[in-house]
Amino acid sequence: MSEPDLPLLVDSHCHLDFPDFDGEQADLIARAQAAGVIRMVTICTRMYKEPAVRAIAEAYPGVFYAAGIHPMYAAEEPLVTVDELVALSAHPKFVGIGETGLDYHYTADSAAVQAESLRIHIEAARRTGLPLIIHSRDADEDMARILTEEYRAGAFTGVMHCYTSGPELARAALEIGFYLSMSGIAAFPRSTGIREIFAAAPQDRILVETDAPYLAPPPYRGKRNEPAYVVHTAKVGADLLGMTEAEFARLTSQNFERLFSKAVA
């Protein structure tokens, strides 16, 4: 149980099904709640893992889930269909589409199939009204172009998860109503440019996340991340925006509820 005076936070993006957490989910979630992290969205990155991710969300009241094909895996398995994603959206704890996107850091050779997969997820987001969860790495120009083209063809909403790209992509995403999510990378001492992007963004479009088990913020950098550690990134976010930790927690929770409105219902 979280103490009454703790800021109540949301970890808007984590991976509780990953092998790093095998058999520890109950303890992880208990630690998160004790730290004031009362809601989490656990993200499915490969469709064959969807049943396991769904089971975690079903087992814990404060855990919700999303599903899609991570761009790094888009060429390794059959593409999901729009109808399959729409069918998943009937589940009461299914609150987002993805993660999907473009990753040219390691998998630039599959750029074409990544783009095809991304457009499928975008159409599912349109049809369901659920937010799209975007992963973008070393693909700023193509990502900005696809999002802008697709938005002109029909509105949808979403979040640029773990935002570490440049100001141009941030501007393009914000212009179509997207949110930017702050991960532990924003708390790294050398991440000045990323912090500047968040400082300049509309405050009603900022979320906070762990991407656990990856990207632990200081003082846990280099170690396994977990949802409880989102409080350390939130402290950096609060300082950046000139807020108290409670104000930042309230802001990001309200933003989460606006974007992931199904989680409130």
Binding positions for a divalent metal cation are 13, 15, 99, 135, 161, 211
**Binding site members:** 13, 15, 99, 135, 161, 211
Query: Strand 94-103 to strand 37-44: parallel, antiparallel, or no bridges (unpaired)?
Result: unpaired
Q: Quote the CA–CA distance of 101 and 70 in Å, as a whole number.
A: 7
For every residue of 30-70, DSSP letters joined together read HHHHHTTEEEEEEEE-SGGGHHHHHHHHHH-TTEEEEE---
Distance, in Å, from the CA atom of 100 to the CA atom of 76, rounded to the nearest integer, reads: 14
84 sits in the region (left: phi over 0; alpha: psi -120 to 50; else beta) called: alpha
Confirm if 199 and 241 have CB atoms less than 8 A apart: yes
Q: Nearest to residue 17, comparing CAs of 82, 65, 84, 83?
A: 65
Among 31, 120, 74, smallest CA distance to 14 is for 31
Question: b/e for 195-214, b at 16 or more Cβ within 10 A?
Answer: bebbeebeeebbbbbbbbbb
